[in-house]
Amino acid sequence: MLLKSPEEVERFIKEKGIKHFKAKEFLCKHCGKVIIDSRLIELAERLRGYLGKPLIITSGYRCPEHNRRVGGVPDSPHIKGLALDVLTESSRERFKIFTWLVNNGVTRIGMAKTYTHFDIDPDKPQEVIWDYYD
Ligand SMILES: [Zn+2]
């Protein structure tokens, strides 16, 4: 289900008993708008529970302008509310995050030095892991 306003995200979080995230963590950092697939919020909550420590979302929804400013690809799943980036501080933590995501049905994962990207964009190739290294 696509949630399309901060209020809708807040209501979802309340109804589902999501304990570790607030709506603002998923909003565009530039304008505060949001489109986010509720499945990502549930995945983040379950992943956070598995990790047993705070999970910092470095990028959730991005409006097209913000996406341009941060150098995202024009058809980024962040614009469609289908992607999250989460802070990843060590190779051990990366291992835990990657294995959890794979074991929980996520089929698109990107590895960066300091964060992990994952998305559920059905219009993009599935069963892929890539990196952002140059
Ligand atoms: Zn924005």
Q: How far is the CA of 28 from the centre of ligand 1 (A)?
A: 5
CATH of the domain spanning 2-131: 3.30.1380
Domain borders along the chain are: 2-131
Report pLDDT digits (tens) over 85-108.
Answer: 999 999 999 999 999 999 999 999
What percent of the chain has pLDDT above 70?
A: 100
Distance 1 CA to ligand 1 centre (A): 21
What is the distance in A from the centroid of ligand 1 to the CA of 61? 8
| pLDDT band with cut points at 50, 70 and 90 for residue 116 | very high
Instruction: Quick: pLDDT tens for 23-61.
Output: 999 999 999 999 999 999 999 999 999 999 999 999 999
Q: Give ion ligand 1 contacts, CB < 5 A.
A: 28, 30-31, 63, 66
Q: Please, are residues 124 and 92 in contact by the beta-carbon 8 Å criterion?
A: no
Mean pLDDT of the chain: 97
pLDDT band at 123, cuts 50/70/90? very high
Q: Sorting pLDDT into bands at 50, 70 and 90, what band is 134?
A: confident
Distance of CA 32 from the midpoint of ligand 1 (Å)? 6
Q: Ligand 1 center to residue 26 CA distance, Å?
A: 11
Question: What is the Å distance from ligand 1's center to 95 Cα?
Answer: 31
Does the pLDDT value for residue 76 go beyond 90?
yes
Sign of CA dihedral 16, 17, 22, 25: negative
